A = this chain, B = another copy of it.
Amino acid sequence: MKKDNNYSVPGFLASAVSAGLKKNGKMDLSLIFSQKKAVGAGVFTTNRVKAAPVLLSQERIKKGLLRAVIANTGCANACTGIQGLNDAIQTADIVAKGLGIHPEETVVASTGVIGSYLPFNLIEKAIPNLIKNLSPDGFRSVAEALMTTDSFPKMSYFKGNVGGCPFHLLGLAKGAGMIMPNMATMLSFLITDIHIDSETLWPIFGSAAECTFNRITVDGETSTNDMVLIMANGVAGNTRLDRSHIKEFERGLTDVMGELAYMIAKDGEGATKVIEIEVHGAATKDDANTAARSVGNSNLVKTAVFGQDPNWGRIMAALGSSGIKMEQDKVQIWIDGIKVVDGGLMTSEQEERKAAEKMKNEQLTITINLNQGRWKDRIITCDLTYDYIRINAGYRT
């Protein structure tokens, strides 16, 4: 990661330490803190099995205030019952006390193995150092401390302007498996110095998550711990947000969250290629989404992409089994702009060979026109490789 990715946002501090949760001595505990009162919003996993930090944070952020996020890797604190919830509450309490803020403005995020209890004593011992190290330049180390099976830290930055006031937006995220955002996915934290009220922030944030994080899939799995949080501390000093200002902020949010989402797909466990699935001409909005997800989650499509094989028959089969309205003989498919299917049939072997050539690239778009209606949608995913198996067959050992 380049030095010039060491972003900051006025009024926010961050730090990360190694608390000993990861066996390899890498950083595993991180803290983000707003020096001023800040509003917050969040989207959380839709999995019915929710980790303790999700249950706690989801409840606290409802009030729209957020000043501190403490995040740990190495333990998901999921399926840990009352003890897990107590551990999360205690963690937040100690942080809040150390920072001199209200516990209700403090939330917790965790990621790692499901079913183990949080090594609370390790966390308790590390918190004083975490607070002592807080700095405006600490965000890069937070991005690193968030990594589990991620192969690179994920940060995205946006500078905008509302009514003459420059504002900043910084996003951090981690991936990289158990990812199919049927809501928020994975962990992502965003901070901004824009001045915005909670009622305005929530819907904007929710729709930005819907069209970014909720449009990626690595393996069709929805985690128990997914959360995306945003804090806005108002330090930018803009007095009000009119419609055009909100548009500008939305653009920034979508940019930053879109870039982070793309990074997560790119860094999907074992991935060698990012695949964008675009569906056009669906009969309904749901059909467009279902079709894109069905293709994007197909193990056979994803292994074919890994093998650089323009095996469009597997795309047809994935569409056909998705339950959407379709007529086989109306389907058109393009691989990176090369039309391989028209009227449900192969265009030509020559076009297939051209498509195979395109599939050597690290980034690939599969475009599907169902010719059933006017709805479209897209999903970003990655290929399925030997390394996905290696990572997930040996995750806990």
Q: Tell me whether A91 is interfacial, beta carbon within 8 Å.
A: no
| Number of chain copies forming the complex | 2
Contact surface of A with B, Cβ cutoff 8 Å: 46-50, 76, 78-81, 113-116, 177-178, 180, 182, 219-224, 297-300, 303-304, 306-307, 309, 311-314, 316-321, 324, 326, 328-329, 341, 343-346, 384-386, 388-390, 392-397
Residues of chain B with a CB closer than 8 A to A312's CB: 114-115
Pair B311/A49 contact, Cβ less than 8 Å: no
By beta carbon, the residue of chain B nearest A311 is B396
For the complex formed, measure the closest distance between the CB of A28 and the CB atoms of chain B, giving whole angstroms. Answer: 18
Pair A221/B393 contact, Cβ less than 8 Å: no
Residues of chain B with a CB closer than 8 A to A306's CB: 389, 393
For the complex formed, measure the closest distance between the CB of A305 and the CB atoms of chain B, giving whole angstroms. Answer: 9
Q: Which residue in B81, B114, B180, B320 is a CB contact (below 8 Å) of A48?
A: B320
Pair A79/B344 contact, Cβ less than 8 Å: yes
Residues of chain B with a CB closer than 8 A to A178's CB: 300, 314, 317
A50-B328, A392-B300, A392-B304 known; A321 and B182 CB under 8 Å?
A: yes
Pair A395/B309 contact, Cβ less than 8 Å: yes
A182-B321, A222-B321 known; A313 and B78 CB under 8 Å?
A: yes
Pair A329/B393 contact, Cβ less than 8 Å: no
CA of A17 to CA of B181, assembled, Å: 49
Pair B307/A345 contact, Cβ less than 8 Å: no
